Amino acid sequence: MTVYPAKQHFAATVGHLGADSGVILVHGSETLMHPDSDTEYEFHQNSNFYYLSGVAEPGFAAAYDISTRTAILFVPHVSADEAVWTGVPPSLDEYRAAHGFDAAHYTKDIDAVVGALKPSVVYTLPENASACAAFSLAPVEKLRLAVHEARVYKDDCEIEIMRRANQISSAAHVTLMHEAREGMNEAELRGRFVGLALAQGCSYEAYGSIVARGRNAAVLHYTKNNMKLDNSSDVVLVDAGGTYGNYASDITRTWPVGPRFTDNARAIYAIVLDMQKAVIDACAPHKQWEDMHALAQRVAAEGLLRLGVLTGDLESILAHHVVGYFMPHGIGHLIGIDTHDVGGYPPGTERINKPGLRYLRARREMLPRMVFTVEPGLYFVDAILAEAQATPTVAQHIDFDVVKRYHSVGGVRIEDNIVITDSGNDNLTSKCPKEIADVEALRSGAYNA
């Protein structure tokens, strides 16, 4: 079994912290109860703590002595009475070895063990400040930013975990495309997806799945997932990914309820696919993420001009951010332990307050070992179209009669997860079909089974 490189993650964090002494001390999440109830919230480990410990259980802590490079794991003690209910836990040394630490103690001894290191300063996270009150603390934002920056660059172990998360989630998407039929409910598809992800070892959905048929896909954060696939002309947008080994996957596929796309749906889908492939082809070290967003907008504008949805001069369309009214979200985001992973806006980088761009979740130079989602989409959202119609510089470039023709498509999004490599990128989602012929072959298969 590969040991999760927690100790290396402490070292990487120290690199961004720029310190040569002191101790890092971080606490994991505790079990959280629902109010006035003995029911627990499903346990999710604090993401920063997972990165520094590889521990997915509640009640742990971890320390790292910067000058001696010693990593110390703190384990909650399980009483004999509790062990009757939960089973006999591993020993301290078994925990230490399993997580690649240099030493292990019980959490009741944190203050004594860390105190004995006589740290000049203790670095901790904002969410752990009160638990570390016994020590002289550095400003808590220091460690937070250093861990965030370290988490931006995935090592081989992390990439392999994310590859597996994507394999499991891709296979579940394929099963949905292969099994869904007109008359099913969105809830059945979401249930099938979650069931397959859990069955293959995922801990939970990486985020609230979206299964949106027809016009529901125009509700960008659609979470009801409870309507019937009652029209074979509709498309279904499925945005779902499992968390495996505490790393997220985030995949979207859009496919017809019937065996084939309608001509209108195919036309929109083809543009989104062009946008996505253009961006993935362009993703490479030293390029800027916001330029990927601009590239997707340009490809979209060209496609929507061909359809007649947009009219006029391409450069004027781009200058007036017209595409932002059809793709109101960003082209993608960093992904890792969190679905929307940390580090998208390094200190000093600001958001751009323009349609489509204000929701861009990252602005930075792409570098090897960053993992991004690439998720262009085109939507026909009534409220946004009304805003476009009321904005003359935008409305001049939109043919609202042609828009009506595509309105029932609702929305189309295609989303993959890619790792930036030395020469370009590696698509972790490559096994999840998105070419029109492949999607239609799967959908036809659903009706010929």
Find out whether 242 and 197 touch, Cβ atoms under 8 Å. yes
Find out whether 233 and 198 touch, Cβ atoms under 8 Å. no
- Per-residue binding string, its own copies, 211-240, x by CB under 8 A, is --------xxxx---x--------------
Parallel, antiparallel or unpaired: strands 210-213 and 235-240: antiparallel
- Per-residue binding string, its own copies, 364-393, x by CB under 8 A, is -----------------x-xx---------
Q: Counting contacts by CB under 8 A, is residue 35 touching its own copies?
A: yes
In the complex with its own copies, the residue whose CB is nearer, 1 or 116, is 1
C-alpha–C-alpha distance, residues 260 and 196, integer Å: 25
Find out whether 341 and 372 touch, Cβ atoms under 8 Å. no
Q: Which of residues 87-106 bind its own copies (CB under 8 A)?
A: 87-88
Q: Counting contacts by CB under 8 A, is residue 130 touching its own copies?
A: no
Q: Counting contacts by CB under 8 A, is residue 201 touching its own copies?
A: yes
C-alpha–C-alpha distance, residues 82 and 88, integer Å: 9
Backbone angles phi, psi at 378, to 5 degrees: -135, 130
In the complex with its own copies, the residue whose CB is nearer, 36 or 422, is 36
The least distance separating its own copies from the CB of residue 362, rounded to whole angstroms, comes to: 13
Q: Counting contacts by CB under 8 A, is residue 171 touching its own copies?
A: no
Q: Which of 232, 253, 285 is nearest to 422 (CA)?
A: 285
The least distance separating its own copies from the CB of residue 68, rounded to whole angstroms, comes to: 28
Q: How many residues bind its own copies (CB under 8 A)?
A: 56
The least distance separating its own copies from the CB of residue 94, rounded to whole angstroms, comes to: 15
Q: Counting contacts by CB under 8 A, is residue 199 touching its own copies?
A: yes
Find out whether 334 and 152 touch, Cβ atoms under 8 Å. yes
In the complex with its own copies, the residue whose CB is nearer, 84 or 116, is 84
Among 38, 263, 350, 422, binds its own copies (CB under 8 A): 38
Helical segments of 73-116, H only: 80-86, 92-99, 110-116
Find out whether 31 and 166 touch, Cβ atoms under 8 Å. no
Q: Look-up: residue for tokens 């030293």?
A: 286
Among 22, 328, 376, 433, binds its own copies (CB under 8 A): 328
In the complex with its own copies, the residue whose CB is nearer, 194 or 282, is 194
Find out whether 363 and 333 touch, Cβ atoms under 8 Å. no
Find out whether 409 and 383 touch, Cβ atoms under 8 Å. no
In the complex with its own copies, the residue whose CB is nearer, 84 or 437, is 84
Q: Which stretch binds its own copies (CB under 8 A): 68-76, 106-114, 334-342, 390-398?
A: 334-342
The least distance separating its own copies from the CB of residue 147, rounded to whole angstroms, comes to: 9
Q: Which helix (H) or strand (E) holds 210?
A: strand 210-213
In the complex with its own copies, the residue whose CB is nearer, 73 or 147, is 147
Q: Which stretch binds its own copies (CB under 8 A): 12-20, 36-44, 102-110, 131-139?
A: 36-44
Q: Counting contacts by CB under 8 A, is residue 198 touching its own copies?
A: yes
C-alpha–C-alpha distance, residues 148 and 13, integer Å: 8
Enter the DSSP assignment of 217: G
Q: Counting contacts by CB under 8 A, is residue 124 touching its own copies?
A: no
SS (HEC) of 135-184? CCECCHHHHHHHHHHHHHCCCHHHHHHHHHHHHHHHHHHHHHHHHCCCCC
The least distance separating its own copies from the CB of residue 361, rounded to whole angstroms, comes to: 9
Q: Which amino acid is at 99?
A: H
Q: Counting contacts by CB under 8 A, is residue 85 touching its own copies?
A: yes
Q: Which amino acid is at 146?
A: A
The least distance separating its own copies from the CB of residue 44, rounded to whole angstroms, comes to: 6
**Which residues are near its own copies by CB under 8 A?**
29, 32, 34-42, 44, 46-48, 80, 83-88, 125-127, 144, 185, 187-188, 190-201, 207-208, 219-222, 226, 328, 338-340, 342, 381, 383-384
